[in-house]
Every structure is written in structure tokens, then in C-alpha cells.
A = this chain, B = another copy of it.
Amino acid sequence: MTGPTATPEPPYYVVIFTSVRDEQPDDGYSQTADRMFELAGEQPGFLGYDTAHSDGLGITVSYWQTESAIAAWKADQEHLVAQRHGRQRWYQSFEMRIARVDRAYTFQRSTP
């Protein structure tokens, strides 16, 4: 399994994407989602992501060094196509929030 993703010391930025999918066949969604995670990982300023889905709700948080890195990723040509398909075919609703992380705390259980 993955995560939670480790990130450098704050400040950095986070995109919080919460979504509700249509109740319909996959229709290319999974393949595009995988490709978008791969492509995001190649972007300058990308720090990592965590994603989980349950009870019809998806939450993806991605971490970025700067706001301009987020803006550049939003404007990526392949990503723009995926965003259009998301609105037209895959998502019933979503919320996108951009926030500046000011404080972070890590817990790791010690091995007994």
C-alpha cells in the first residue's frame, strides 16, 4: 500500500480534490486517472499525492512547491483534455480547493 506521502517542511501548497462519480461504466476514467497521476509526477514542483475512494466519494490531495507549479499543471494540454472529460462524462460534482500548508506533523509508530 502507499502513503501517507512524506513532504518537505512547510510552507508548500496543496490541491484538495473531492469528487462524486457518476453511477455509470468506467468509460475511460481509470486509465485517464492513472495517466494523470503519472503525468503530475513529472511536473516541476510536484511533491507527492495521496488518494482514497469510498462510499462514492473520492479524495485526492496533491502537494506542490509553489502556486505557479499548480497553475502550470492545470494548464497542461493533456490535463486540460482530462479535465474536460471529467466535467462532461465522469463527475457528478466536485470541489477543488487550493491551500497553503503552514504546519505539518508526522507520526510514525516505533518498532517495539
On A, residues with C-beta under 8 Å from B are 1-7, 10, 14, 16, 18-20, 22, 50-59, 61, 87, 91-109
Cβ 8 A contact of A107, one of B94, B98, B100: B94
Q: In the bound complex, how far is the Cα of B54 from the Cα of A22, in angstroms? A: 19
**Which among B55, B58, B93, B108 is the interface contact of A93 at CB below 8 angstroms?**
B108
Q: Is the beta-carbon distance between A52 and B50 smaller than 8 angstroms?
A: no
Question: Which residues from B are CB-within-8-Å of A108?
Answer: 92-93
Does A2 lie within 8 Å of B55, measured CB to CB?
yes
- Each complex incorporates copies of this chain amounting to 2
Q: Is the interface of A mostly helix, strand, loop or mixed?
A: strand
C-alpha spacing A41/B87, complex, angstroms:
31
C-alpha spacing A103/B95, complex, angstroms? 11
Contact of B93 with A57 in the complex, beta carbons under 8 Å: no
